[in-house]
Chain A
């Protein structure tokens, strides 16, 4: 395998997996939300929940379909482009992916059919059950993927045989690796938060356009309310994930921190332009002591710099460094929006604060950006290793591939993914613009067009008690 074929294979994998993760990140959360809506409707009998459900089900269907077809690609790319990885780590990673197939794929796909087409064919309780099974399937899928990826980040429970094959010796250690149990919640929370902001932003869109008030308010209330609880939790799990990186992947941690020298106590670089050629940061803005506090919860600890590692064991610095900062930035903005937005909604002040409605509307991509940049941090930061510290990415690729072959497939992937993305965005946009079916009986005072946003708090209790 020549160098350019390796690079092209890496670009192809990064491109296809980044494209893919967008859809699971969205559907994991949306499936849970749809189940919740269906349960709420059964419990309260409010038709609003049914309209919201029917509306989001269409969006879910598109995202789910894209997730399935782009996911099948991933199942084959390990073999086509990373055959050495497959051969050597297949005995560990293969069964984990096998369990993903057994527990998740068939479950979500079969019940997805019922969810989409079967409402009139199954009992009410079974329909709710089908929604729950789709949710369970999408979550289980994330679980096995996180077990798999966490093993690549921190390989445990194996022995290497004479042929360089990773032979699993302790499945319990692999599945219950502490790394899994901070990264899996981190991913699921990312999916939920992503969905929450997309839902809230859609609601804000309707409020900006002064239509679909009840639906819009409910979407903002539910989306931001959920985010208000989950974003802080997500920041906690992000911190725990950082702890494992600090302890087990010090080179990645140093790259994220933009720290070149060992420092005691260490400063925290807020912003800089890391320069690998001179092994230093340009235009750095740092806060003394904070690096030690973040790394080790101490004012005096020594923190490791990149120069402690030979250059061929360092990740590329710029991508993890910037990706991490973008992720954290998105997270903080989401926290502010979720808390302030929820408080404002609760106080029924949302109609007066149109700037806030606009901010909520514009927040729709924040969750997705944070999810993607988080993955860039994790995966690029793991380089130059495919399996951290044991198997180099360069040794993992398919030996027989040439740059021309991968170049051709990469161009075709880019064209086709571009086409389906453009069409998908256009159709989702069209669905969102149309919005939920309007309420057939406009008896609900919330829907009085002369008093838009009159009940920003929404909810059945508020509907008989106008805001003024």
Chain B
């Protein structure tokens, strides 16, 4: 049996996007939470807690986006035009929050402005990513290898709902990150928030799960047909288990556990979406084999991925290790 390069690459890209979602998820979440923490010192600590790693987190977006161009060019060339407006808005949001990391420390008078840019940029980016996800799940029409829909197709109640759901999920990641990385009053407030956000996230996941199957017959079949229906039973149980771990961790002062369990929630939700539309990469127009680049491209980049991705993971892990532990106000180079 020949090696199914398209399948291997689908797995790698899926991993890259997941890595992006959870890693930039928590630092976007910290930005989204900014309005709830008006105190300057708290904001300094919040920003410093993600400052050393946000750059690296965002490179996974390029890895996912650029990787899509390399290995599924047809998907790249149809999804991106279909999502033109939310993606451009997301990029501009990322720009604002990205420059805020540097600009905020360079001015007293405009500090509040960059606080707003940091929070606003994070909110816009997170919301637009959710909209993009929703628009992808509801399907993108493709005719003659080009996007065949309209300018506003991405804007539906469902995509707005996924946008809000992802925002809530990101704030959960952000608040549990703060629980793990900060101390004192800031950590106490983050703990308080995280508990509510955990329930809200699970509710959002529930709404998403009840809504999705009715979008397309394929999803309905996946959710209630054998054997994938097994997941429809197992995943909700695991979600509730994660929720329990988050709440218990928050109560018992295990500061790392809520963050890890929140990551678990994201992985479960992500897996559920994947199961819904695999093997489509552009539901329900293109499968991974329709969209795959020629084998010459897939194999050439696969060599690099197999060698380099483990190295990337190793030094990314090391960078996180260097900045382990609680962040204090006097940390940071500014």
Q: Which residues from chain A sit less than 8 Å from chain B, CB to CB?
A: 57, 61-62, 64-66, 68-73, 75-76, 78-80, 83-84, 86-88, 90-95, 97-103, 105-107, 109-114, 116-119, 121-122, 161, 163, 165, 167-169, 171, 398-402, 405, 409, 412-413, 416, 420, 423-424, 427, 430-431
- Give the residues in chain A near B110, CB-CB below 8 Å: 423
When A and B form their complex, which 4 residue pairs have the shortest distance between CB atoms, in order from nearest? A90-B73, A79-B80, A94-B70, A113-B52
Type the 1/0 row for B48-88, where 1 means its CB is closer than 8 Å to any CB of A: 10011101101111110111111101101111110011011
Given contacts A75-B66, A93-B69, A117-B52, A423 and B103 within 8 Å (CB-CB): yes
* A79 and B59 contact, CB distance less than 8 A: no
Contact partner, B70, options A83, A98, A117, Cβ 8 Å = A98
* B77 and A72 contact, CB distance less than 8 A: no
Q: Which residues from chain B sit less than 8 Å from chain A, CB to CB?
A: 48, 51-53, 55-56, 58-63, 65-71, 73-74, 76-81, 84-85, 87-88, 91-92, 94-96, 98-99, 101-103, 106-107, 110, 145-149, 151, 293-294, 296-297, 300-301, 304-305, 308-309, 312, 315-316, 318-319, 322-323, 331-333
- Give the residues in chain B near A111, CB-CB below 8 Å: 315, 319
* B77 and A79 contact, CB distance less than 8 A: yes
Chain B residue nearest to A423 in the complex (CB): B103
Chain A residue nearest to B308 in the complex (CB): A102
* B99 and A102 contact, CB distance less than 8 A: no
Given contacts A102-B312, A113-B56, A95 and B77 within 8 Å (CB-CB): no
Report the Cα distance A228→B311, complex, angstroms.
38
* A106 and B293 contact, CB distance less than 8 A: no
* A83 and B88 contact, CB distance less than 8 A: no
Report the Cα distance A48→B65, complex, angstroms.
43
* B99 and A424 contact, CB distance less than 8 A: yes
- Give the residues in chain B near A106, CB-CB below 8 Å: 56, 59-60, 63, 312, 315-316
The listed residue with most A CB atoms (<10 A of its CB), out of B79, B85, B98, is B98
Report the Cα distance A71→B300, complex, angstroms.
24
If A79-B80, A95-B300, A171-B296 are given as contacts, then 20 extra A-B residue pairs at C-beta distance below 8 Å, sorted by A number, are: A65-B102, A68-B58, A69-B95, A79-B65, A79-B68, A79-B76, A83-B81, A88-B73, A90-B73, A95-B297, A95-B304, A102-B308, A112-B55, A116-B51, A117-B323, A118-B322, A167-B294, A171-B300, A413-B92, A423-B103
Contact partner, B331, options A105, A117, A167, A423, Cβ 8 Å = A117
Report the Cα distance A423→B300, complex, angstroms.
42
Contact partner, B84, options A168, A405, A420, Cβ 8 Å = A405
- Give the residues in chain B near A117, CB-CB below 8 Å: 48, 51-52, 323, 331-333
Report the Cα distance A431→B312, complex, angstroms.
33
Report the Cα distance A106→B19, complex, angstroms.
13
CB within 8 Å: A-B pair count: 245
Given contacts A106-B312, A110-B319, A405-B84, A91 and B77 within 8 Å (CB-CB): no
- Give the residues in chain B near A84, CB-CB below 8 Å: 77, 146
Min CB–CB distance A167 → chain B (angstroms): 5
Report the Cα distance A290→B78, complex, angstroms.
50
* A72 and B63 contact, CB distance less than 8 A: no
- Give the residues in chain A near B96, CB-CB below 8 Å: 416, 420
Given contacts A102-B304, A113-B52, A167 and B69 within 8 Å (CB-CB): no
What are 26 residue pairs bridging A and B, where the CB atoms are less than 8 Å apart in the complex?
A57-B333, A65-B101, A69-B94, A79-B81, A80-B87, A83-B78, A84-B77, A86-B76, A87-B145, A90-B77, A90-B297, A91-B296, A94-B70, A95-B301, A102-B308, A106-B59, A113-B322, A117-B332, A165-B294, A168-B296, A398-B77, A405-B84, A405-B85, A413-B88, A423-B110, A424-B103
Report the Cα distance A165→B296, complex, angstroms.
12
- Give the residues in chain A near B84, CB-CB below 8 Å: 80, 401, 405, 409
Contact partner, A118, options B88, B148, B316, B323, Cβ 8 Å = B323
* A94 and B95 contact, CB distance less than 8 A: no
Contact partner, A102, options B61, B92, B305, Cβ 8 Å = B305
- Give the residues in chain A near B147, CB-CB below 8 Å: 83, 398, 400
Chain A residue nearest to B69 in the complex (CB): A94
Given contacts A72-B62, A110-B319, A168 and B297 within 8 Å (CB-CB): yes
Min CB–CB distance B109 → chain A (angstroms): 11
The listed residue with most B CB atoms (<10 A of its CB), out of A79, A114, A420, is A79
- Give the residues in chain A near B331, CB-CB below 8 Å: 117
* A92 and B297 contact, CB distance less than 8 A: yes
- Give the residues in chain A near B73, CB-CB below 8 Å: 86-88, 90-91, 94
- Give the residues in chain A near B333, CB-CB below 8 Å: 57, 116-117, 119
Report the Cα distance A83→B62, complex, angstroms.
17
The listed residue with most B CB atoms (<10 A of its CB), out of A62, A88, A100, A163, is A62
Min CB–CB distance B110 → chain A (angstroms): 8
* B77 and A87 contact, CB distance less than 8 A: yes
* B95 and A73 contact, CB distance less than 8 A: yes
- Give the residues in chain A near B300, CB-CB below 8 Å: 95, 168, 171
Given contacts A94-B293, A112-B55, A69 and B81 within 8 Å (CB-CB): no
Report the Cα distance A118→B147, complex, angstroms.
46
* A105 and B80 contact, CB distance less than 8 A: no
* A113 and B80 contact, CB distance less than 8 A: no
Report the Cα distance A86→B70, complex, angstroms.
9
Report the Cα distance A116→B52, complex, angstroms.
7
Chain B residue nearest to A406 in the complex (CB): B84
- Give the residues in chain A near B58, CB-CB below 8 Å: 68, 72, 109
Report the Cα distance A96→B67, complex, angstroms.
10
* B296 and A109 contact, CB distance less than 8 A: no
Report the Cα distance A83→B68, complex, angstroms.
12
* A105 and B62 contact, CB distance less than 8 A: yes
* A98 and B323 contact, CB distance less than 8 A: no
- Give the residues in chain A near B74, CB-CB below 8 Å: 87
- Give the residues in chain A near B95, CB-CB below 8 Å: 69-70, 73, 416, 420
- Give the residues in chain B near A75, CB-CB below 8 Å: 61-62, 65-66, 69
